[in-house]
Structures are given as C-alpha cells and as structure tokens.
Amino acid sequence: MSSMILLHGSSQVVEAPELSAGSIHNDYGQGFYCTQSEEMAREWACKNREDGFVNRYAFDPAGLRVLDLSDGAHTVLNWIAILLKNRTFRLSQPIAVDAREYLIEHFAIDTTEYDVVVGYRADDSYFQYAQSFVENTLPLRGLNKALTLGKLGLQTVLVSERAFQRLQFMGAEPVDGTIYYPRFAQRDDTARRTYSAEIAKGRSYRDDIFVLDILREEMRNDDPRIQRILFE
C-alpha cells in the first residue's frame, strides 16, 4: 500500500481519532473505519438522515502490517469468520451455532497481529448475508456473488496505535443529508434486492456448498471444492 487519502464519514468533525473510542463489536474489532471512496464517505456521513461531515486524512502505511482481505489470497470465508468473531449475532439454530464455532476456529484471522485491515463493510444487508450463510439458507456461491454485486465497497480500518500515528487530519467538509441519505438508502436497497435474488437461486444450486457441507466434510480454507466455487 502506498501513501493515500482516507475518508471518514461522520455526523461530526473528527480531528484526532482515538483507537479506544471504537467499539470492540465492529466488523474488524476496535479501530477507526475509513474508505477511499468519496461517495461512500458522503453517504455514510448522512446515514442517520441528518447532515454530516467527510473527514479527510493523509495516511502513510509504509512498514505497517496490512491484512488485505481483497488481495486474492483470502476468501469470503475469512471475512465472514472475522465478522462472526467480532459482531453480535443472534443464532438460534444449532447448525448456526456450530457453524460459527467452526468458521472462527478454521477460517478466522487474528487481526491483532496487524496494524491495518482492508475488507468488506458489513452494512445491515451484508450482515444479513452472513447470518443466512451460517444458518444454511444461503450457499457459498450466492454469498460470494451477493457481496460483489451489492457494491457496498471496501473499508480501510486502522486497528493499532502504530497506524494511528501515521494519520494526519487534513480537514472536514459538510455533507447535505437531503442529497446523500437517499443515496445511502438506495445503495442498501440494491444490496438487499441482490441478496433476495441470490437466496431464490440458492434453492436450485446442486453443485454449490452450504455451511452444512463445510461442517460435515471438515473443509478448510485451501479445500479445492471451496476454491472451485469462489474462483470459478
């Protein structure tokens, strides 16, 4: 990763972000969640139906330990396992509870060993994808496709004090909620419709993998059956 500009959409100006201010139950644990997309930052600044701010920072990641879940070396199962480890899920079905434990044990990556994490952003719709997968109602191909087509984008998350020291505040710009909240809502709606379409298709998949298959066959990250589905 080369030097970059990071953006943080918020209801307020954030001149001095602090690691301790982040919730431990966010997607990748405690950290400062940013994007490189101007449009995404503006939409997120207004997600509460109010005006907001896009906070802009210069960031130099040289020498930092970066976990990039979009680099091709990792899969959607690594992402979902990290999500299951950090976020709070209401899992009532025994298969979902077992799936959560198995995926965390065999697919999760210890993000505390890194300074920066790059990966999907689990909006409510993406969170629904993850929950449906562990409940065995959304197959792996459908999960992977829905995440791509939902277009909710990637986020860059600073997860260590060392990373925070490389962040320099450049200023903040006001964002009009009457313009950007509808765009935020539309993007989420598109993701939900994509999810619903993939759920419907999933009922007819005969060569796909459901989480029950992963449990029964004790599949791991490098299993060729998983690789076939994700990289076909």
Cβ 159 vs Cβ 117: under 8 Å: yes
Full-model pTM: 0.88
66: helix, strand or coil: strand
Task: Check whether 111 has a pLDDT greater than 90.
Answer: yes
Nearest to 79 by CA among 136, 148, 167, 164: 148
β-strand partners of 118: 68, 156
101 has pLDDT over 90:
yes
Q: Would you say 150 and 195 are in contact if contact means Cβ atoms under 8 Å apart?
A: yes
Among 113-117, 145-149, 181-185, which stretch is predicted with the lowest mean pLDDT? 145-149
pLDDT at 221 over 60: yes
**What's the pLDDT tens digit per position in 51-66?**
999 999 999 999 999 9
The DSSP output letter for 99 is H
pLDDT band at 99 (very low <50, low <70, confident <90, very high): very high
Mean pLDDT of the 95-104 span: 94
Please answer whether residues 157 and 117 qualify as being in contact, where contact means their C-beta atoms are separated by less than 8 angstroms: yes
Q: What residues have CB less than 8 Å from 207, skipping those under 6 apart?
A: none
Comparing 39-48, 52-61, 122-131, 220-229, the range with the smallest average pLDDT is: 122-131
pLDDT at 28 over 60: yes
Residues 149-200 pLDDT 10s: 655 678 999 999 999 999 999 999 999 999 999 998 888 787 777 767 766 6
| Mean pLDDT in residue range 94-111 | 94
- Amino acid at site 48: N
CA angle, corner 197, sides to 194 and 203, nearest 5?
140
Average pLDDT rounded to a whole number, residues 35-64: 95
- Looking at the chain, the whole-number percentage of residues with pLDDT higher than 90 is 59
Q: So what's the pLDDT on residue 195?
A: 67
